Amino acid sequence: MPNNSSIVALVDVPGIGKVSQEFKDKVVLIAADLETNPNFLTAVMSFESGGTFSPSVKNPLSGAVGLIQFMPSTKKGLGTTSQALAQMTAEDQLDFVANHFKRFKGKLKTLEDTYMAVLFPAAVGKGSDHVLFTKPSRVYKQNSGLDINKDGQITVGEAADKVRARLGGASVGTGETLRRGSEGPEVERLQEELIDIGYLTRAQKLSAPGKFGPLTEAALRNFQTDNHLEANGTYGEATQAAFRQLNDGVKLGSRGDVVRGLQDRLVALGSMTVAEVMSGPGVFGPRTDAALKALQRNHGIEPTGVLTDETYQALLLAAPAAVPKTDLLDGTSVETVLPEKGIGYVTFNREPGGRDQVGRASTVRTIERLGEAWASKHPTVQIAIGDISRRGGGPFPPHKSHKDGCDVDIRPLTNNGHNEPTHIKATNYSHARTRELVLLIREKFDPAAMFFNDPLMIKEGLTRHLGGHDNHLHVRFS
């Protein structure tokens, strides 16, 4: 259980409206005794009972019954029977739920561990990556639907995924009011959410994973400021509701402070006018929908009209005037993923999720500006971007550089306008177009270094020679 600086409120899991206040109060007391989060218990009961919270609900195949689907062996150990359990009130059956979990007191630190105490007790405390079932086996076959990534293994995290879904967007914090000094896995989940939308960097999290310190507080304040919330740096009910709305999907028909924050950024970008926003501030209508889809298209994001994490990051990057004055955009952290395609550019040899195309925020924005500048001259010919860095920086074999998010590989231009491999001696290589690109980079972006082995460009002093650079430009942005 997180430390005493955390307060827990019950989350509306599916079916919770069917229970009495006495039931809810009793769950809170049981959770306090077990030193766990009451929402972990309600999520498990919601999942196991199919959202009914019925003490008599029964699985016709296994014979399990009740709030946590007590199995025959479990019921015997608790000194009761299926018939007796089915005839109890939900409030009375909670005593048997408490007795089942009693031996795990102090060990139910996460939702995953709480669910494992029901599904597979031997896995309690083993972590989300612990493998439960492996293919081929009978138990794997019985549970194959839980293998989310289809790798032939079912982990604790995968098994608990549908249970966590019961908490919806509230799974971040799971009802806990987190603040400076809070610690634990739910703080770490909040930190991951802040990383996903661009307010915290991976390096900042690694300085204090799972600990709510000044960096997490500052990131949360920035998020609150951007979304018209009280910037108190506390992860309370209003901020949890904002994250829940983001996770559920901010889209046409949405209302509230997060929509107002989105409209602020669209105005800062010139995608909407103040007058358009004032016709429906905080209301996600057709104008906001059209503006968001246009921004997504311009950044190579599928134009769904939904404010995804990727789109949120793109907004932070594209509208720096609307971003709080922190070190996130101008710092040295290597945490920003280049969108797969955008105005004037595409990517090549891209690894899943852009793992090889992570840079400083300033580098990514420079690439986007380069694409825009190139498109203004050649709207039908795109430049192709390759490796940048790994998330967090550091060694990136076989590269000797590409360690700090400033180095970018760019494919030379072809004479047929196609985005395809080429090199300085290939018949499809265009010296003229590639030289034009080099001149554009030098003129507008003042690179710290540029390597490319075209002898004519080297003679002009436009690029420098470096082994292995016949088929790509290596640009180090300042």
Q: What was the pLDDT predicted at 203?
A: 79
CA distances from 134 to 120, 141, 166, 399, 475 (A): 14, 9, 26, 36, 45
Q: Where are the alpha helices (DSSP H) in 208-350?
A: 214-226, 237-248, 257-268, 274-278, 286-298, 309-318
Judged against a pLDDT cut of 70, whether residue 321 lies above it is answered with no
Which has the higher per-residue pLDDT, 185 or 344? 344
CA distances from 444 to 243, 285, 346, 374 (A): 39, 38, 20, 11
Average pLDDT over residues 185-209: 86
The residues, ordered by sequence, that sit 6+ positions from 414 with a Cβ below 8 Å of its Cβ are 420, 422, 428, 429, 430, 433
Q: What was the pLDDT predicted at 104?
A: 95
Tell me the chain's radius of gyration from C-alpha atoms: 27
Which of 53-57, 362-366, 390-394, 411-415 has the lowest average pLDDT?
362-366
Q: What was the pLDDT predicted at 172?
A: 56
Distance from C-alpha of 176 to C-alpha of 184, rounded to nearest angstrom: 11
Structural domain boundaries in the chain: 7-123, 250-328, 336-476
Distance from C-alpha of 157 to C-alpha of 454, rounded to nearest angstrom: 51
Contact (Cβ atoms closer than 8 angstroms) between residue 449 and residue 443: no
Contact (Cβ atoms closer than 8 angstroms) between residue 160 and residue 111: yes
Residue 74 confidence class, pLDDT cut points 50, 70, 90? low
Q: What was the pLDDT predicted at 323?
A: 44
Q: Long-range contacts made by residues 59-63, C-beta under 8 angstroms, separation at least 24?
A: none
Q: What was the pLDDT predicted at 150?
A: 84
Q: Which of 68-77, 204-213, 437-446 has the highest mean pLDDT?
A: 437-446
Average pLDDT over residues 195-221: 88
Average pLDDT over residues 295-306: 90
Judged against a pLDDT cut of 50, whether residue 204 lies above it is answered with yes
Contact (Cβ atoms closer than 8 angstroms) between residue 187 and residue 216: yes
Residue 332 confidence class, pLDDT cut points 50, 70, 90? confident
Average pLDDT over residues 33-48: 93
Average pLDDT over residues 276-282: 81
Q: Which two tokens stand for residue 93?
A: 């059956």
Q: What was the pLDDT predicted at 324?
A: 41
Judged against a pLDDT cut of 50, whether residue 327 lies above it is answered with no
Sign of CA pseudo-dihedral 46, 49, 51, 56: negative
Residue 395 phi, psi dihedral angles, 5° rounding: -55, 140
What is the distance of C-alpha 444 from the center of its chain? 33
Q: Which two tokens stand for residue 439?
A: 């001149």
Judged against a pLDDT cut of 70, whether residue 190 lies above it is answered with yes
Distance from C-alpha of 478 to C-alpha of 466, rounded to nearest angstrom: 19
Residue 295 phi, psi dihedral angles, 5° rounding: -60, -40
Average pLDDT over residues 397-421: 93
Q: What was the pLDDT predicted at 232?
A: 87
Distance from C-alpha of 433 to C-alpha of 430, rounded to nearest angstrom: 6
Q: What was the pLDDT predicted at 228?
A: 84
Instruction: For residue 153, give the DSSP letter.
Output: E
Element (H, E) at 202: helix 202-206
Q: What was the pLDDT predicted at 128?
A: 83
Work out the mean pLDDT of the chain and round it to a whole number: 87
The torsion region of residue 92 among left (phi > 0), alpha (psi -120 to 50) and beta comes to alpha
Q: Which two tokens stand for residue 162?
A: 């549908």
Average pLDDT over residues 12-36: 93
Beta bridge partners of 319: none
Beta bridge partners of 260: none
Which of 167-176, 347-356, 449-458 has the lowest average pLDDT?
167-176
Instruction: For residue 197, give the DSSP letter.
Output: T
Q: What interhelical angle do 309-318 and 286-298 show, nearest 10?
A: 80
Average pLDDT over residues 157-180: 76
Which has the higher per-residue pLDDT, 207 or 36? 36
Residue 174 confidence class, pLDDT cut points 50, 70, 90? low
Distance from C-alpha of 356 to C-alpha of 387, rounded to nearest angstrom: 6
Q: Do domains 250-328 and 336-476 have the same CATH topology?
A: no
Contact (Cβ atoms closer than 8 angstroms) between residue 108 and residue 117: yes
Q: How many residues does the chain have?
A: 478
Contact (Cβ atoms closer than 8 angstroms) between residue 134 and residue 146: no
CATH of region 250-328: 1.10.101.10
Q: What was the pLDDT predicted at 4?
A: 42
Residue 144 confidence class, pLDDT cut points 50, 70, 90? confident
Distance from C-alpha of 177 to C-alpha of 3, rounded to nearest angstrom: 11
Residue 169 confidence class, pLDDT cut points 50, 70, 90? low
Residue 87 confidence class, pLDDT cut points 50, 70, 90? very high
Query: What's the CA dihedral at 134, 138, 143, 145 to 10 degrees?
Result: 80
Q: Strand 345-347 relative to strand 383-385: parallel, antiparallel, unpaired?
A: parallel
The 10s digit of each residue's pLDDT in 370-389 is 988 898 889 889 999 999 99
Q: Does domain 336-476 have CATH number 3.40.50.300?
A: no
Distance from C-alpha of 164 to C-alpha of 169, rounded to nearest angstrom: 9
3-state secondary structure of 8: strand
The HSE-up count of residue 19 (CA atoms within 13 Å, CB side) is 29
Q: CA end-to-end span of the chain, whole Å?
A: 46
- The DSSP string of 18-49 is GS-HHHHHHHHHHHHHHTS-HHHHHHHHHHHT
